[in-house]
C-alpha cells in the first residue's frame, strides 16, 4: 500500500473519532502554543535589550583616562590628563582596517537659554566622528566641520528634548542664537530623535558642540585632555586585536616605560551585552523547558489514545493482515495516524502560539519576536513527538498475530 | 495439484501438556474443486483452515500451494501470498465499520502493490459488487446491509485480486437459512467458473453443496466422500 493511501486511511480514522482526536491533539496544541509564545516573548525581550545597548553606539570601544599615581598615592579614576583628541586621531590613522571612526568626548553641563525659556542640560564636546560612532545622524541642519573644531567656533547642535523645551512655540531652531554661560552660540543643526537608552536615560536631552569649544569656552581650560575617546570598530570580532593595537599605540604616545601601568582604560560593551543576553536567554530556555514538558505530556496522551485505538481495532488489523497487509503496512497506518494527530495539533498550536504571543505583546506592551526558526523547530518537534510516542503502539499493532486478531472480540 | 499438504503437524503447548491440533494430516486439493471440511470442535478443522490461509504456520510438514512451499515463508512473503493467492470469507463477515461496500471490495488491491489505477480499481469493485447482486448498494456501509448482503460484499472482496482459491470459514454460520442457501449457491456458481473453494462448515446441508467432503477428527482426516454420491471410508 502506498504511503499516500495509508495516510488517507489514517486521516479517516482520525475523522471518525473527531472529539477524541481533538482532545488528544489538545495536549500538543497547548504544548506547542506555549513553546512558541514563550520563545517569541523571550527572544523579543532579548532583541530589545540588544537594540537598546546598540543604541549607545556602533561596535563601541571606550577609552578612559585611568588613575594616576603620584609618589605612591593613587589619585583616583580619571585623574591622569594625558588622553587627548590627538590620541584618537592617531588611532584612526594607524588602524584604518579596524576603526570605522572615533570621537573625543568632553562633558560639561550648563543652562541654555533662548528668549524666555531656559533648560539645564548636559553638553557633549565631540569631534566630527560623533554621528558615525554613535550611529546618530543630524535630523535637520548640519553637523559642524573640522574647521569649526580647529577654530573652536561657537556653534552647537541640539537634541530634540532641548529643542522641545527651548522652542516652545514651534520655531525652527536652525540659525537661531541661544545663550550658554552668557555667551551666544549659533544653532546649526538638530539631532534625530534617539529615545531613551537601556538605563532609561533620555538621550535627546543633550547639546553637542565641538570639543574644542567646550574645552576653551565653556570649561575655560588651558589643557587639551579629553574625558573619553569613543572608537567605533568595523567588526566586534576584531575587538581583541584592536584593543591590543590601541594599547601599544597609546603607551607609546604617552611615553610609558615598560614598568609603568597604563594611564588609560579600554572598555567595551561586550560584557554588558553578554550579561544581558545571557539573562534573557536563560529565562527563555527555562520557560521553554517548562513549556516543552507540556509537549511531552501531550505526547503521552497520543500514545495512550493510540494504544486504545489499536486495541479497539484489533479485528480490523486482523482483517487487513488476512487480505495482505504486511507488518510494515500496519505499522505505517498507526504511525501516520499518530503523526497526523501530532502535526495537526502542532499546526493549530503554532497558530495559537503566534496569535497568543501577539496578543500578550499588545496587552502588556512587550516586544515579541517570532522567528521562522522557532516555528519550524516547534513544528518539527511536534512531528517528532508523534513518531516517538506513536511508534510503540504502532509497532505493537504490527507484531500482532492475524489469527488472534480475527478471533478477538 | 493446487494444494498439497503432506504429513502436517501442528502442536500447541499448554503449560506442560502438548496438544496435537493436527497430527500428521495429508491432503490434496486439485484445481476447480469445491471442498467442505467438516468436523466437531477440536477436530483440527480451524487450525487446518488457518494454515491453508497462511495465517498460521505448521510445526512440521509441508504445504504447497500452486507449486510454492508456504510453510517456510517469512511474514512479508505470507502477507503477499495471502493477498495474491487467497480470498477469505469469514463467519462474521469482518467488514470494516463505517466504510462503503465499494471501498471494502477495493481494499485487497491496495495491499497488492497497486497494479491497478484508481479508476480501474473502482471499476473492478463495482463490477464485482454488481456480480454478487449489490449493484444498487455500492455505497452502503455494513450497518445499512443485511447479513446476507454483508457476506456478499465479503465474497466480492475475496475476489478482488482474482485468487485461485477462496477459503470460507463457516460462511453461513451467522446467516438465516434463506441467506445461507443464497451464499452457498453463490459459492457453487463461483466454483463453476473455475475458482477452487475450500469451506469449513459443521452443517451437513451446507456441506452437501460441495463436490467433496472431508471429515476431520482428532487432528486427522477421518473420512472423505462426495456428498452427492454417498459415503466412502478412507
Q: Is the same domain home to A83 and A25?
A: no
Type and span of the H or E element at A198: none
State the pairing for strand pair B212-217/B220-225: antiparallel
**Strand residue runs (E) in A211-350:** 228-233, 264-268
Chain B residue numbers with beta carbons less than 8 Å from the beta carbon of A1 are 110-111, 114
State phi, psi for A398 to the nearest 5 degrees.
-70, -25
Task: Spell out the residues 6+ positions from residue A206 whose beta carbon is closer than 8 angstroms to its own.
Answer: A121, A122, A123, A124, A158, A159, A161, A162, A191
Query: Would the CB atoms of B53 and A322 count as touching at under 8 Å?
Result: yes
Query: Would the CB atoms of A326 and B90 count as touching at under 8 Å?
Result: no
Domains of chain B: 3-225 (3.40.50.300)
Most B CBs within 10 A among A5, A322, A406, hence the mutation to make, goes to A322
Residues B9, B24 contacting (CB under 8 angstroms): yes
Cα–Cα dist A165/A114, whole Å: 9
Query: Would the CB atoms of A326 and B157 count as touching at under 8 Å?
Result: no
DSSP-derived secondary structure for A280-317 = HHHHHHHHHHHHHHHHHHHHHHHHHHHHHHHHHTHHHH
Q: Is the same domain home to A278 and A264?
A: no
Residue-wise pLDDT tens for chain A (409 aa)? 678 888 888 888 889 889 999 999 998 999 899 888 888 888 888 777 777 776 666 688 889 888 665 566 666 555 567 888 889 999 999 988 888 899 999 999 889 999 888 999 999 999 999 998 888 888 888 999 999 999 989 999 999 999 999 988 888 899 999 999 889 999 999 999 887 776 677 888 999 999 999 988 888 887 888 888 999 888 878 888 888 999 999 998 888 888 888 888 888 877 777 777 788 888 888 888 888 888 888 899 999 999 999 999 999 999 999 999 999 999 999 999 999 999 999 999 999 999 999 998 888 877 888 888 888 888 888 889 999 999 999 999 999 999 989 988 7
Q: Is the same domain home to A83 and A203?
A: yes
The pLDDT tens digits of the residues spanning B129-157 come to 999 999 999 999 999 999 999 999 999 99
> What is the radius of gyration, based on Cα positions, of chain A?
34
Query: Would the CB atoms of B56 and A316 count as touching at under 8 Å?
Result: no
Q: Is the same domain home to A292 and A215?
A: no
Q: Is the same domain home to A262 and A353?
A: no
Task: Spell out the residues 6+ positions from residue A11 whose beta carbon is closer than 8 angstroms to its own.
Answer: A340
Cα–Cα dist A209/A216, whole Å: 12
User: Which among B56, B82, B98 has the least Cβ separation from residue A323?
Assistant: B82
Q: Is the same domain home to A223 and A336?
A: no
Residues A42, A281 contacting (CB under 8 angstroms): yes
Q: Is the same domain home to A143 and A258?
A: yes
State phi, psi for A22 to the nearest 5 degrees.
-65, -45
ipTM: 0.92
Q: Is the same domain home to A245 and A96?
A: yes
Cα–Cα dist A21/B151, whole Å: 32
Q: Residues of A at the B interface (Cβ-Cβ below 8 Å)? A: 1-2, 5, 16, 315-316, 318-329, 402-403, 406
Percentage of residues in chain B with pLDDT exceeding 90? 70
Using CA coordinates, name the residue in chain B closest to A315: B94
A300: closest CA of chain B, how far (Å): 27
Cα–Cα dist A130/A144, whole Å: 10
State phi, psi for A392 to the nearest 5 degrees.
-60, -50
Q: Count of CB atoms within 10 A of residue B143's CB?
A: 9
Structural domain harbouring A292: 3-52+274-407
Q: Is the same domain home to A198 and A297?
A: no
The pLDDT tens digits of the residues spanning B153-186 come to 999 999 999 999 999 999 999 999 999 999 999 9
Question: pTM for the full model?
Answer: 0.71
Q: Is the same domain home to A287 and A394?
A: yes
Domain boundary among A242, A268, A294: A268
Domain count, chain A: 2
> What is the radius of gyration, based on Cα positions, of chain B?
18
Cα–Cα dist A129/A103, whole Å: 5
Chain B residue numbers with beta carbons less than 8 Å from the beta carbon of A15 are none
Q: Is the same domain home to A317 and A212?
A: no
Q: Is the same domain home to A285 and A261?
A: no
Query: Would the CB atoms of B82 and A328 count as touching at under 8 Å?
Result: no
Domain boundary among A235, A268, A301: A268
Domain boundary among A268, A302, A321: A268
Residue B144 is classified by DSSP as G
Amino acid at each position: 500500500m502506498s504511503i499516500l493511501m495509508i495516510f488517507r486511511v489514517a486521516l479517516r480514522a482520525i475523522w471518525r473519532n473527531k472529539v477524541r482526536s481533538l482532545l488528544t491533539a489538545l495536549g500538543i496544541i497547548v504544548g506547542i502554543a506555549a513553546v512558541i509564545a514563550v520563545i517569541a516573548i523571550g527572544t523579543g525581550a532579548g532583541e530589545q535589550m540588544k537594540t537598546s545597548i546598540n543604541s549607545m553606539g556602533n561596535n563601541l570601544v571606550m577609552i578612559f583616562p585611568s588613575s594616576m599615581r603620584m609618589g605612591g598615592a593613587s589619585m583616583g579614576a580619571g585623574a591622569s590628563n594625558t588622553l587627548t583628541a590627538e590620541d584618537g586621531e592617531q588611532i584612526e590613522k594607524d588602524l584604518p582596517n579596524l576603526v570605522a571612526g572615533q570621537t573625543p568626548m568632553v562633558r560639561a553641563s550648563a543652562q541654555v537659554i533662548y528668549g524666555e525659556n531656559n533648560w539645564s542640560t548636559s553638553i557633549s564636546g565631540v569631534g566630527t566622528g560623533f554621528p558615525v560612532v554613535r550611529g546618530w545622524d543630524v535630523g535637520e541642519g548640519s553637523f559642524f566641520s573640522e574647521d569649526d573644531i580647529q577654530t573652536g567656533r561657537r556653534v552647537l547642535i541640539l537634541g530634540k528634548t532641548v529643542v522641545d523645551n527651548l522652542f516652545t512655540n514651534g520655531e525652527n531652531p536652525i540659525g537661531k542664537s541661544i545663550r550658554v554661560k552668557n555667551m551666544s552660540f549659533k544653532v546649526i543643526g538638530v539631532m534625530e530623535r534617539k529615545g531613551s537608552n537601556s538605563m532609561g536615560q533620555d538621550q535627546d536631552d543633550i547639546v553637542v558642540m565641538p570639543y574644542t569649544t567646550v574645552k576653551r569656552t565653556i570649561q575655560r581650560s588651558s589643557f587639551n585632555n579629553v574625558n573619553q575617546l569613543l572608537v567605533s570598530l568595523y567588526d566586534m570580532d576584531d575587538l581583541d586585536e584592536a584593543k591590543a593595537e590601541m594599547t601599544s599605540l597609546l603607551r607609546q604616545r604617552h611615553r610609558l616605560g615598560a614598568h609603568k601601568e597604563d594611564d588609560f582604560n579600554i572598555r567595551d560593551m561586550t560584557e554588558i551585552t553578554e550579561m544581558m543576553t545571557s539573562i534573557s536567554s536563560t529565562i527563555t530556555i527555562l520557560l521553554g523547558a517548562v513549556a516543552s514538558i507540556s509537549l511531552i505530556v501531550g505526547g503521552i496522551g497520543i500514545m495512550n489514545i493510540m494504544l486504545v485505538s489499536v486495541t479497539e481495532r484489533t479485528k480490523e488489523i486482523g482483517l487487513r493482515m488476512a487480505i495482505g497487509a504486511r507488518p510494515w503496512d500496519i505499522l505505517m497506518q498507526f504511525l501516520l495516524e499518530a503523526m497526523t494527530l501530532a502535526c495537526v495539533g502542532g499546526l493549530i498550536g503554532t497558530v495559537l502560539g503566534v496569535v497568543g504571543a501577539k496578543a500578550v505583546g499588545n496587552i502588556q506592551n512587550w516586544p515579541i519576536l517570532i522567528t521562522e526558526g522557532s516555528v519550524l523547530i516547534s513544528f518539527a518537534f511536534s512531528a517528532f513527538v508523534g513518531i516517538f510516542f506513536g511508534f510503540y503502539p504502532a509497532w505493537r499493532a504490527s507484531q500482532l498475530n492475524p489469527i488472534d486478531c480475527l478471533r478477538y472480540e | 495439484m493446487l494444494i498439497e499438504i503432506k504429513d502436517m503437524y501442528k502442536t500447541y503447548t499448554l503449560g506442560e501438556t502438548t496438544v496435537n491440533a493436527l497430527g500428521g494430516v495429508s491432503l490434496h486439493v486439485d484445481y476447480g474443486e469445491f471442498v467442505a471440511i467438516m468436523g466437531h470442535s477440536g477436530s483440527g478443522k480451524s487450525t487446518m483452515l488457518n494454515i491453508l490461509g497462511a495465517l498460521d504456520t505448521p510445526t512440521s510438514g509441508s504445504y504447497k500451494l500452486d507449486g510454492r512451499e508456504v510453510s517456510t515463508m517469512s511474514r512479508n512473503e505470507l502477507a503477499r501470498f495471502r493477498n495474491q493467492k487467497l480470498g477469505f470469507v469469514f463467519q462474521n463477515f469482518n467488514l470494516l465499520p463505517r466504510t462503503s461496500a465499494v471501498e471494502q471490495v477495493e481494499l485487497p488491491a491496495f495491499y497488492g502493490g497497486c497494479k491497478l489505477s484508481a479508476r480501474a480499481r473502482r471499476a473492478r469493485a463495482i463490477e464485482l459488487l454488481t456480480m454478487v447482486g449489490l449493484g444498487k448498494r455500492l455505497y452502503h456501509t455494513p450497518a445499512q446491509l443485511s447479513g446476507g448482503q454483508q457476506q456478499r460484499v465479503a465474497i466480492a472482496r475475496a475476489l478482488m485480486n482474482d485468487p485461485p482459491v477462496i477459503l470460507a470459514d463457516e460462511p453461513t454460520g451467522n446467516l438465516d437459512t434463506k441467506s445461507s442457501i443464497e451464499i452457498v449457491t453463490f459459492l457453487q456458481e463461483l466454483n463453476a467458473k473455475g475458482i477452487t473453494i475450500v469451506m469449513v462448515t459443521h452443517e451437513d446441508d451446507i456441506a452437501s453443496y460441495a463436490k467433496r467432503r472431508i471429515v476431520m477428527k482428532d487432528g486427522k482426516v477421518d473420512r472423505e466422500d462426495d456428498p452427492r454420491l454417498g459415503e466412502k471410508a478412507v
